[in-house]
Amino acid sequence: MRTYTNMTWPDDPYRTGQQLYRRPVPRLAAFTAERTAAGGQSASVEAVAIVYLPLHRTEAISVTEQTLTFGFRAASTDDAAELPGLAAVADLDLMQARRHAAVLAGHLLAGDLVGLRRAGDAAALRGLAAVEDEWAARGKATGRAATFDCGLDLPGCSPLERACQQAGIAAGPGGDRPADRQAAARAVERALMIALVCARHQGRYDWTGMLSIGQVMAAATWDCLPWPGSDTPAALASQDAIDGRAAAAPSVACGNLK
């Protein structure tokens, strides 16, 4: 299993390594799971990702492809024996988001949560269980993140691609790269789309025209993910070097989002 992140948070649900007395910046978190191509019950999770957007306390944040910043953590595997570890990563990420984010967003997330709990030790996955229980009654909650499902709570219950179009988000075109190596990047991109749809719907983010997810991914994750979310010559030329770093270090941390 490989993990990729640009955050330096400690791996515990309470984030005890963080500064205790500084007032934390509110954040919107979005979580997603990327499934294998097989459909129905035979589809298994091959990657998970969580994205954090910083929020302003009182007004919308105006962004462009060059100024939008976000934190992320992703994990992927093509080995069925590592699925319990993937579920544990998702469990920790959801436990942290539930405790520390202002909003936790997903897209038809209930099915992903069930699949992840089946992949691991269900009794030990407390974060997954808590979010699954709360997802049926989404909304504001005292002392934990409000929940929002872009597939159920938007008018018309649109598919994510249509919701992006309505929000002024141009989704990435995808690519011809090997699917197993691209799973982490696809999961981060999807989580970012969910986060931005939610942020714009709730009046927390704004931009002019269409916001290109491909350009945002290329600018923010080119040195953190095995397959940059861009088909530019510079990004393609960096693939071999990035793959080499990922193979040498199973956990890749880039940048510093505190």
Predicted local confidence at residue 149, as pLDDT? 96
Predicted local confidence at residue 157, as pLDDT? 75
pTM for this model (two decimals): 0.82
Per-residue pLDDT of the chain (258 residues; tens, 9 = 90+): 999 999 876 665 555 445 555 567 899 999 999 987 655 555 688 999 999 999 999 999 999 999 999 999 999 998 999 999 999 999 999 999 999 999 999 999 999 999 999 888 877 898 999 999 999 888 777 788 999 999 999 988 779 999 999 999 998 665 444 454 589 999 999 999 999 999 999 999 999 999 999 999 999 988 888 754 444 443 444 444 334 433 433 444 444 344
Closest among 101, 91, 178, 159 to 129, alpha carbons compared: 91
Predicted local confidence at residue 232, as pLDDT? 42
Predicted local confidence at residue 136, as pLDDT? 87
CB count within 10 Å of CB 78 equals 15
Q: In what order do the strands lie in the sheet with 45-54?
A: 146-149, 103-106, 27-35, 45-54, 71-76, 2-7, 251-257
Per the rule left: phi > 0, alpha: psi between -120 and 50, beta: everything else, 4 is: beta
Helix H or strand E encompassing 252:
strand 251-257
Predicted local confidence at residue 140, as pLDDT? 77
Predicted local confidence at residue 37, as pLDDT? 66
- List residues bridging with 48 in a β-sheet: 33, 75
Domains contained in the chain, number: 1
Taking only the tens place, the pLDDT of each residue in 162-190 is: 999 999 999 866 544 445 458 999 999 99
Closest among 205, 199, 195, 211 to 106, alpha carbons compared: 195
Taking only the tens place, the pLDDT of each residue in 43-71 is: 688 999 999 999 999 999 999 999 999 99
> What's the token pair of residue 133?
């229980």
Query: Which range of residues forms the domain containing residue 134?
Result: 2-257
Predicted local confidence at residue 245, as pLDDT? 38
